Amino acid sequence: MKKSHIWTAVVLLSAAGAAGLWQQQSAVGKEPVVSAAKPGPGGRNRDTANRPVPVRTAASRTGEIEISVNAIGTVTAFNTVVIKPRVDGQLVRVAFREGQMVQAGALLAEIDPRPYAATLAQASGQLTRDEALLAHARLDLERYRGLLAKDSIAHQQVDAQEAQVRQLEGTVETDRAQVETARLNLSFTRVTAPLAGTLGLRQVDAGNMVRAADATGLVVLTQTQPISVLFAVPATHLPALQARAGKPLAVEAWDRDGRRRLATGRLLSTDNLIDTSTGTVRLKAQFDNPDGSLFPNQFVSTRLRLETRDAQVLVPSAAILKGAQGNFVYVVDETAQKASMRPVVLGPSTAETVSIESGLKAGEKVVIEGVDRLRDGAPVDISAPAPRPQGAGGPEGERRERKKPA
């Protein structure tokens, strides 16, 4: 049994070797299959290397550009007043609503006026009495002068009467001042707004005793129309500001993201010193703020317009590239359909546009999309970008595209 099994294995191995030898002999004379494309330098095929790069272009143009300075600013109330009582007493009435807009002279609160009305009446009575005494003393003085002319009395008696008249005149003046003081204190029992503005939260309720020495006051009044914005710019812009002293410079206030313009105003003043710790100078701008879009202590992005330059060569900021030799753009020759590298000198810029001081002429076309695959002298295919499939916008659309079966 064992010998038969060994002979069976030997026969099978011999058959397998014969089959392999036959396949090898049948493949003799056949050429190996290789790719027709020959690799080019850098691992790319020559056809791929010479293939035009799809790009988008934009023509440079001549126009004006605004030179502006951007900074973070803080909205500040044009005037802030802590409304305090000017006399002591019981607060009997609060005549305002929290957050209310009030005009100058509007009644805000009332303090119990009765003690001050009584003081005024007392001062008025004292004045009336002393005025009567002064009138009587003046009549006596006239009589004494007549008797002195007839040599009926001594001159000393006339002098004494004149001194009494002057003394009573001083007393009357004092009484009149006391009457004015009492009348003024009585008027202070009516607390009014010193200027137009917006009221804050009430600090004291009616019925409480208030005093002129209280630190908190009754309410805080802020003037928000107009309103100001404080911001700091680098001191390097100070010469440009000084050169335009006396000229109106526009200032725009934008939200923190810089997407929505809140208000437009004008530069009001420049600080008289430079902050040595930051190298900046503080500026103050004024805004009319008719719609209340600016609120005290609000953070805003400010844009100060220094000047506007005309006849500038302008290109989209996406066309500007930076290399070892400096800034450059890719200029497209439409006849040869090739892109060439062009060094440029940049001028003032905005968020979307850059002015070119030298290196480019108006009307030349520069590449704004597809620059990552370009090289100097590379062929280009000027075409619009392929439209995105409907419903594939945003990250959700990208995920749906990835899940879509091939």
State pLDDT tens for residues 99-134.
999 999 999 999 999 999 999 999 999 999 999 999
How many CA atoms lie within 13 Å of 296's alpha carbon, on the beta-carbon side? Answer: 16
Q: Is the pLDDT of residue 259 over 60?
A: yes
**DSSP H helix total and E strand total for the chain:** 6, 20
Handedness of CA 179, 181, 185, 188 (dihedral sign): positive
How far apart are alpha carbons 275 and 261 in whole angstroms?
A: 28
List the one residue out of 69, 67, 111 whose CA is nearest residue 89: 111
Q: Return the top range by mean pLDDT from 9-18, 222-231, 241-250.
A: 222-231
How far apart are alpha carbons 36 and 32 in whole angstroms?
A: 12
Strands 53-59 and 378-382, bridge-based pairing: parallel
Please give the residue that has the higher pLDDT: either 391 or 137: 137
Q: Is the pLDDT of residue 62 over 80?
A: yes
pLDDT per residue as tens digits for the range 69-91: 889 999 999 999 999 999 999 99
Using only C-alpha atoms, what is the Rg of the chain?
A: 47
Task: Write down the H helix ranges in 109-221.
Answer: 114-149, 155-187
Whether the Cβ atoms of residue 336 and residue 31 lie closer than 8 Å to each other: no
How far apart are alpha carbons 42 and 49 in whole angstroms?
A: 10
**194 preceded by a cis bond (ω within 30 of 0):** no
Predicted local distance difference test score (pLDDT) of residue 351: 75
* pLDDT averaged over every residue in the chain: 84
In the structure, what pLDDT confidence band is assigned to residue 308 with cuts at 50, 70 and 90?
confident
Q: Which domains, ranges and CATH numbers included, belong to the chain?
A: 53-64+311-382 (2.40.420.20), 113-188 (1.10.287.470)
Residue with tokens 């290109």: 315
Single-letter amino acid code for the residue at 380? V
pTM for this model (two decimals):
0.62
Single-letter amino acid code for the residue at 119? T
In Å, what is the CA distance from 294 to each residue of 43, 198, 299? Answer: 61, 13, 9
Whether the Cβ atoms of residue 243 and residue 91 lie closer than 8 Å to each other: no
Single-letter amino acid code for the residue at 190? R
Total residue count of the chain as it appears in this document: 406
How far apart are alpha carbons 247 and 336 in whole angstroms?
A: 51
Residues 6+ apart with CB under 8 A from 133: 168, 171
In the structure, what pLDDT confidence band is assigned to residue 393 with cuts at 50, 70 and 90?
very low
Average pLDDT rounded to a whole number, residues 227-242: 91
Residues 6+ apart with CB under 8 A from 60: 313, 314, 315, 356, 360, 361, 362, 363, 364, 365, 366
Predicted local distance difference test score (pLDDT) of residue 43: 47
Q: Is the pLDDT of residue 403 over 80?
A: no
Predicted local distance difference test score (pLDDT) of residue 242: 87
Predicted local distance difference test score (pLDDT) of residue 10: 57
How far apart are alpha carbons 341 and 66 in whole angstroms?
A: 28
Please give the residue that has the higher pLDDT: either 245 or 364: 364
pLDDT per residue as tens digits for the range 165-188: 999 999 999 999 999 999 999 999
